[in-house]
A and B are shown apart, each in its own frame.
Chain A
Amino acid sequence: MSATRDVTDKRLTARQYADNFADIKPPLDTHQAAVESDRCYFCYDAPCTTACPTHIDIPSFIYKIRSGNLVGSARNILAENIFGAMCARVCPVEDLCEGACVRNTAEDKPVAIGLLQRHATDALLASGEVLFARAPTSGKRVAVVGGGPAGLSCAHRLAMLGHDVSVFEARRKLGGLNEYGIARYKVLDDIAQREVDWLLSIGGITARTGQRVGVDIQLAQLRRDFDAVFLAFGLGAVNALGISDENVPGVFDAVRYIEDLRQACDLSSLPVGRRVIVIGGGMTAIDIAVQTRQLGADEVTLLYRRGPEQMGASGYERELAQSHGVNVRFWSRPRRLVLRDGEAVGVEIERTELVDGKLVATGRTQVLAADMLFKAIGQTLVPDALDDSAREILDTKAGKLRVDENRRTSLAGVWAGGDCVGVSKDLTVAAVQDGKLAAIDIDRTLRA
């Protein structure tokens, strides 16, 4: 407990915690799924499929829900996206499949593709059916660095194709951001681990958790010991605000806090401020803002230096924040922290505006008090895993690894994907596609 800041755990009753972190989008029951699936027009060359980064055959999986063929439906989904259950929960569908649905044109209401995908994949996971078989063994071994969506997607596809895969994961559990990121109310019932367990049940994948490449084992070693390496270690450091003395008590890293939220057995053990300020405009910013509200913060203010149009978080996420009582302030950037006794107790913000397309400060300032200040302005790649022989694949300007369209780096035998590469948006679904494409190219290369 701080003397100057009101930060405490147990702000709510057990019942309130349970209610506040219940499923934010409850699943469809069988009848709802039948009604919703009946709305799908089964479009030719469907725009939703085109909009999906993994190109799931969405009309076919929905048709199969309608016919009661849930296993077949899940096969359509998982054949393209092995993290179909998680993506059904966390994809910004309004920007992807549902945003492309022709029902938007007809009646402003897309088919609930995300919920239908969840319906099919949840049923499949509940059944425990393995679904995919491994090809005869190739005798080839592939190392995957990072056990998140990109790494495991690659590992699963490689295992299917007959290769043996070792996944090196620095943390205790596999799953990456599916396990350690993401708002808690989107991923109930340990879905992230259940999906990983199901995915591993195909066989041929050895998980080596607690192994940090660059520390416990070197990349050069992996390149010697394996026929190919796929790098998917994500991003590490949280970006700095770029204002002085931000490493003081009272300033928190949103990513770390969300991790604690995901891993906490007892939410009442998490201390939360009475007045919370979140700085950032992406999904992480929304996730921390809404979740601190749900943990009992009285006032949560989200500061974003640009307007709603530029915000990384989708319209749905923005509405989520607003409907949960988060005060979203656009065109506001932090100028300096307000310190008392060496702790941050507030922030001076400055209004910004666009002048000829450039963001400029207006000089109009205001001080906001805060008991907790969260940084949620993105993460930066930490290239610890890259030894000297591999530095060349780092695009220092972009702060990402450089790959071609097959997710191949310039280093022989090394592919990369997920958040540590700069190919596409930092979405789970994009990471899954990276892993899939890399696996296909690795397979092609190993068999050449």
Chain B
Amino acid sequence: MTTRIDLTSTIAGIRSPNPFWLASAPPTDKEYNVVRAFEAGWGGVVWKTLGDDPPIVNVNGPRYGAWWSGDRRVMGFNNIELISDRAFDTNIAEITRVKAAWPDRAMVVSVMFPLDEQVWRKRLAQIEATGADGIEINLGCPHGMSERGMGSAMGQQPDLIEQVTRMAKAATTLPVIVKLTPNVTNILPAALAAKRGGADAVSLINTINSIMSVNLDAMAPEPTIDGKGSHGGYCGEAVRPIALHMVGEIGRFADTRGLPVSAIGGITRWRDAAEFMALGAQNVQVCTAAMVYGFKIVDDMIEGLAQWMQSKGYARLDDFIGHALPKLTDWKFLNLNYVTKAHIDQDLCIKCGRCYIACEDTSHQAISASKNGERHFEVKDDECVGCNLCVEVCPVENCLTMVPMQAGTDPRTGRAIAHDHADWTTHPNNVMACESVETVVKK
């Protein structure tokens, strides 16, 4: 009997038939694109950021840069495009038409205005009149707009975040999502500020300050516009780990816990979305993957997520959202009694020797390279600290694994395997008084 999978998603009261939205970016700049996206199956969009009139202007040279794998797969991406460069009313008219034609899809409008209450009141009223489901405040754009005191320039100052969120909330009855910048050392003050300002949700991460590459012939950063370049916003698969961390932080800290999160950052496949949601995100927003492959990828995202949920017995998104959060903790609470040793499956080993040289040159000299004069790689348990480097460099899936020691004595330390938990907070080498109770989110 197959479970009936319900992918319906709700965040800050905004419903969508699935949790896959397109992020505020070039793919959502106008009616034509958004209609194509809805036809392809996307659950919602955040319309590309609207500014006050007169509209901004973009460069007419290259706006994007990329980092490629050997076969030219886009691993990381950046851009110096600004917010919508079309007139406010043009966008409003299109949003109105699209929302009317696609009532079941989430239509959120991204905005960026200066700290002027009049402007917020006027513009948000116009947006509300389109029938849109919510607004997202762009506090993350790290280039261009930030030089004018908006985007990440606001997003890096918690007091401004709070102020602008409050201003937006006062100006509309629509749910307000605050989009945060990752260009901060700690995401929590920004998230807290949004919460204090009354945000209904936060979305993160926006792009990261970056220089994509340097053209060594022109001696100029890329993308290069008439001989010069500027920093841009970094995104794509490469930023996903950073985004996962920040989403996880918001989910696990008491003061921000419960603040709905719309996760953004390198989401390319359904699995990426599931990971963000396991760390507490209500839904996800995608941009780079769509820009690289087109809108059709949502088909796999929807189907893959549903398949996986079915295989796990999850009927609804809420059945697994946040389920990995209780296991996200501080280093100091990790069990020091847990001992693992690398193990090489000789049947799978192709004898490339990468594990050996990685361990030999840069780690613990815990792998041998020959046996009876033959090329043969084997872990020396008495040297292996369980660091996992060999697993990461092995090109064969499941050939190298970390095997927990269940009993006996760790041949490296000579200590018996203990089954109780012992962490840094209780370790005799720890001269600092530490809190001894782990604080975790109990879902």
Contacts and interface: CB of A to CB of B under 8 A. Distances in A.
Interface of A: 31, 34-35, 37-39, 41-47, 66, 102-103, 105-106
Contacts of B354: 41-44
Contacts of A47: 351, 375
Contact of A102 (B71, B352, B357): B352
B352 A41 contact: yes
A35 B350 contact: no
Given A44-B369, A47-B375, A38 B71 contact: yes
Nearest to B355: A44
B357 to A, nearest CB: 4
A15 B375 CA distance: 51
A105 B350 contact: yes
User: Per DSSP, are chain B's interface residues mostly helix, strand or loop, or mixed?
Assistant: loop
Contact of B353 (A31, A34, A44, A105): A44
Contacts of B369: 44-45
Nearest to A36: B70
A47 B352 CA distance: 8
Contact of B351 (A34, A38, A42, A105): A105
A62 to B, nearest CB: 11
B358 to A, nearest CB: 9
B430 interface: no
Contact of A37 (B70, B72, B352, B375): B70
B93 interface: no
A42 B71 CA distance: 17
B103 interface: no
Nearest to A41: B352
B70 A102 contact: no
Given A106-B395, A106-B396, A44 B352 contact: yes
A41 B395 contact: yes
Q: Which 5 A-B pairs have the closest CB atoms?
A: A38-B70, A44-B353, A44-B357, A105-B350, A102-B350
B350 A106 contact: yes
A51 to B, nearest CB: 12
Contacts of B357: 44
Contacts of A105: 350-351
30 contacts: A34-B70, A34-B71, A34-B72, A35-B70, A35-B71, A37-B70, A38-B69, A38-B71, A39-B70, A41-B354, A43-B351, A43-B352, A43-B353, A43-B354, A44-B354, A44-B356, A44-B357, A44-B369, A45-B353, A45-B369, A46-B353, A47-B375, A66-B70, A102-B351, A102-B352, A103-B350, A105-B351, A106-B350, A106-B395, A106-B396
A31 B396 contact: no
Interface string B382-407: 00000000000001100000000000
Most chain B CB within a 10 A radius of its CB, from A44, A45, A46, A103: A44
Contacts, number: 42
A21 B247 CA distance: 62
A105 B377 CA distance: 15
Interface in B304-335: none
Interface string B338-372: 00000000000011111011000000000001000
Contacts of A39: 70
Contacts of B395: 41, 106
Interface of B: 69-72, 350-354, 356-357, 369, 375, 395-396
A70 to B, nearest CB: 15
Nearest to A35: B71
A311 B329 CA distance: 64
A103 B395 CA distance: 10
Given A38-B71, A43-B351, 14 more contacts: A34-B70, A34-B71, A34-B72, A37-B70, A38-B70, A41-B395, A43-B352, A44-B353, A44-B357, A44-B369, A45-B375, A102-B350, A102-B351, A106-B350
Q: A31, A45, A103 — which one has the most chain B CB atoms within 10 A of its CB?
A: A45
B348 to A, nearest CB: 9
A45 B395 CA distance: 16
Contacts of A42: 354
Nearest to A46: B353
Contacts of A34: 70-72
A76 B396 CA distance: 28
Interface-central residue, A43, A46, A66, by most chain B CB under 10 Å: A43
A66 B72 CA distance: 12
B300 to A, nearest CB: 24
A105 B70 CA distance: 22
Contacts of B351: 43, 47, 102, 105
Contacts of B356: 44
Contacts of A35: 70-72
Contacts of B396: 106
A246 B15 CA distance: 91
B41 to A, nearest CB: 32
Contact of B72 (A31, A41, A106): A31
A31, A39, A102: most-surrounded residue (chain B CB, <10 A): A102
Nearest to A50: B375
Contacts of A103: 350
A368 to B, nearest CB: 46
A102 B354 CA distance: 11
A44 B360 CA distance: 11
Nearest to A38: B70
B373 to A, nearest CB: 13
A102 B375 CA distance: 12
A182 B357 CA distance: 40
Contacts of B352: 41, 43-44, 102
A397 to B, nearest CB: 33
A39 B369 CA distance: 22
Contacts of A41: 352, 354, 395
Contacts of A37: 70
Contacts of B71: 34-35, 38
Contacts of A102: 350-352
Q: In this complex, which of B71, B352, B356 has the most chain A Cβ atoms within 10 angstroms of its Cβ?
A: B352
Nearest to B356: A44
A5 to B, nearest CB: 53
A45 B370 CA distance: 11
B309 to A, nearest CB: 32
A37 B396 CA distance: 18
A98 to B, nearest CB: 14
A104 to B, nearest CB: 8
Q: Which of B70, B357, B375 is most buried by chain A, counting CB atoms within 10 A of its CB?
A: B70
A26 B153 CA distance: 54
